Amino acid sequence: MLNIPDLMRFPLRSWDACAHTATVFPSSIPHIRAIDMPPHAPLPMIDALRAAEITEVLVVSGDPPHGTNRIAYSQSSIDVIRRFKAEHPHIRVYAGLDPYRQDFRNEREYISRKLYAGADGFFTQPFFDRRLLEIYADLLENEIVFWGITPVISRGARAYWETTNKAIFPRGFEPTMEWNRAFARDTLRLIGDMNSNAYLMPIRVDLATYLEGLR
């Protein structure tokens, strides 16, 4: 399956993109930015989801729309998850999990609140440290989780993840294709042993080269 982010610099919304890919892939999951959802109007993508027979979405908080004409609303991802489950219960709603945005205790509480709102599972930010993934795997043992994996093959990319997303890299990390493919293979085996799920986010790499090295 594909999960497609809703990027503010493009006029095409994620659910419209998924309407195209839904004809090729068995499942396409659009990102829904909570900050874009008007609180007192119908969810704007429902007709498009219905027409494309899309029954899964990923609700994220969303960054403020700087430099665009989009209006931002005071809506949290929890608010929008609750709306989906109340108004459109046939849609499976995933939530985001970010192990870097706050301390473990607060993220654990945030996870619990999303589950209470009706989240059916989680997509995580990419992990770069197996030990950190195992900590969250213990917490989410009985939940549906798609664990994120992405290659970071330059010092600049590492700096981006550390400064923008506050990501944590292990001591032995190397920004090379070889290290990243070895980490992905090891992580995929771990996820398989847990009978869980993974998603790959190959940014700024040759897709065929990266995937070939994961066999």
From first to last of its 215 residues, what are the pLDDT tens digits of the chain?
Answer: 999 999 888 889 999 999 999 889 889 999 999 999 999 899 999 999 999 999 999 999 988 777 666 778 888 999 999 999 999 999 999 999 999 999 999 999 999 999 999 999 999 999 999 999 999 999 999 999 999 999 999 999 999 999 999 999 999 999 999 999 999 999 999 999 999 999 999 988 988 889 988 87
**What's the rounded Cα separation, in Å, for the pair 18 and 178?**
32
Position 184 scores a pLDDT of 96
The whole-number pLDDT of residue 51 equals 94
Separation in Å, CA 74 to CA 62, 63, 101, 112, 116 = 11, 12, 19, 21, 20
Pairing, β 197-200 against β 145-149: parallel
CA–CA dist 52, 48 (Å, integer): 6
pLDDT value, residue 204: 87
Domains with residue ranges and CATH for the chain: 2-126 (3.20.20.220), 151-215 (no CATH)
Which residue's structure tokens are 């043992």?
Answer: 141
- For residue 135, the model assigns a pLDDT of 96
Give first-to-last CA distance, the chain, whole Å. 18
Residue 64 has what pLDDT? 77
